[in-house]
Copies of this chain bind each other. A is one copy, B any other.
Amino acid sequence: MTDTLNLTNFVCPLPLRRYPQIVMGHGSGGQMMNELIEHLFVPTFAGTGQFGPLSDAAVLDLPDSLSGGSRLAFSADSFVVSPPVFPGGDIGSLAVHGTVNDLAVMGARPLYLSASFILEEGLSVDILGQIVQSMAAAARIAGVRVVTGDTKVVERGHGDGLYINTNGVGVIPPGVNLTPSRITPDDLLIVNGPLGDHGVAIMSLRAGLQFETEIISDSAPLNGLVAEMLRVCPNLHAMRDLTRGGLAAVVNELARDARVGLEIDEPVVPVRPAVASACEMLGLDPLHVANEGKLLAVVPANSAESVLEVMKRHPLGQQATLIGRATTAHPGVVVGRTAIGSQRVIDLPAGELLPRIC
């Protein structure tokens, strides 16, 4: 059926957006942010040395004195979520989970975190204390150590309570190599559970919406789940966590970097009914909404069953679902198959959908 989409002479309908000033869309995980990254950060920093494929964490080679087959993963993330406390978590636990997960989906065992705070004059020290305790609790549960950090204070009106930056260092064991270039056209796509909870929990709070079923952030550390998956399938091809831009952003980036087509069976993509209703009210596509406890794994077809099985036995993978596959058709493009059998191109969100969601 894929040949009904003729993409041979496909031209992007969106012109290259040129903005003389930063706008909110530059931070939303979509096309505008990618342009900033690809047209400014990557070419400029590439001059400092070889710049690897863009992923959740950099994979570092160490000098010979520190070799032995393992490699280091190094990840960076700032958190500006608003409000800082939300159903299911807060900016502190989110900052730990975000960096732990960036390392985990590169196949690394997260070991060490840094925690840097930009505090706004006037922030309640009690609230700061609660958030720091939440960070420490999240780190203990994830089994990582917060080993260094930094504190800066800015004048009232130049921050928003607090911004937190976490960086993480982890070790990728020998034999593990998660990267889009290993994706092959027979691979299968698995998510570990329902999408959209984190983003919708925060957007509902900001919009003042209440639902019969409270929607709670899915923020959670995925390193334990990933370790189980790699135990049964060390040959796993690629993995990403589904943060800003949601599943839609991740599958597009994977398709582009792997130069394969991806097909998503939209009716089987798990979304809780309350989240689906809220998305309708808020005008959001659940595929575009950020998560912080969800991942997409690209698994060799012959390992999919054992990976799914081990995921379903883990508390954070009980609703793990096979949602699609890679294909030689339409390389670089993601196609969704709808319930009625039609198809659509699943694109990157363009600009601002969900500001300050993480």
Q: What is the interface of chain A, defined by CB distance below 8 A to chain B?
A: 19-28, 33, 36-37, 40-41, 44-45, 47-52, 57-58, 60, 62-63, 65-70, 72, 74-80, 111-112, 114-126, 128-129, 132-133, 135-136, 139-140, 144-155, 157-160, 163, 165, 167, 169, 171, 173-174, 355-356
Known: A22-B121, A120-B22. A167 touches B68 (CB 8 A): no
> A112-B58, A116-B76, A355-B153 are contacts. A22–B65 as well, Cβ < 8 Å?
no
Task: For A74, give its contact among B48, B121, B147 (CB under 8 Å).
Answer: B147
Query: Judging by beta carbons under 8 Å apart, are A33 and B116 in contact?
Result: no
Bound complex: CA of A173 vs CA of B327, how far in Å? 48
User: Residue among A19, A74, A171 with the most chain B CB within 10 A?
Assistant: A74
Given contacts A41-B151, A148-B57, are A167 and B114 in contact (CB under 8 A)?
A: yes
Q: Please, which residues of chain B bring their CB within 8 A of the CB of A171?
A: 62-63, 65-66
Query: Which residues of the partner chain B approach A79 to less than 8 Å between Cβ atoms?
Result: 152
Name A21's contact: one of B70, B122, B158, B356 (CB within 8 Å).
B122
A23–B78 alpha-carbon span in the complex (Å): 22
Query: Which 10 A-B residue pairings sit nearest by Cβ, starting from the closest?
Result: A27-B153, A76-B114, A49-B145, A167-B167, A58-B147, A58-B148, A45-B146, A165-B165, A48-B139, A22-B123
Q: Given the known inter-chain contacts A21-B125, A112-B58, A128-B22, please indicate yes or no for A48 contacting B150, CB distance below 8 A.
A: no
Q: Tell me the smallest distance from the CB of A122 to a CB of chain B, in Å.
A: 5
Mostly, the A contact residues are mixed
User: What is the CA–CA distance of A77 and B119 in the complex, to the nearest angstrom?
Assistant: 13
CB-CB under 8 A from A123, the residues of chain B are: 21-22
Taken together as a complex, chains A and B put the C-alpha atoms of A58 and B115 apart, in Å, by 12
Number of this chain's copies in the complex: 2
- A97: shortest Cβ distance to chain B, in Å? 14
Asked if A76 contacts B148 (CB within 8 A), the reply is: yes
**Residue of A50, A124, A154 with highest tally of chain B CB at under 10 A:** A154
**A153 with B114: CB separation less than 8 A:** no
Contacts of A163 in B (CB 8 A): 118, 152, 154, 163
Q: For the complex, give the distance between the alpha carbons of A93 and B112 in Å.
A: 26
Name the contact of A41 in the complex, choosing from B68, B76, B144, B149 (C-beta under 8 A). B149
Instruction: List the B side residues contacting A62 at CB < 8 Å.
Output: 66, 111, 171
- A140 and B46 CA atoms in complex are apart in Å by 10
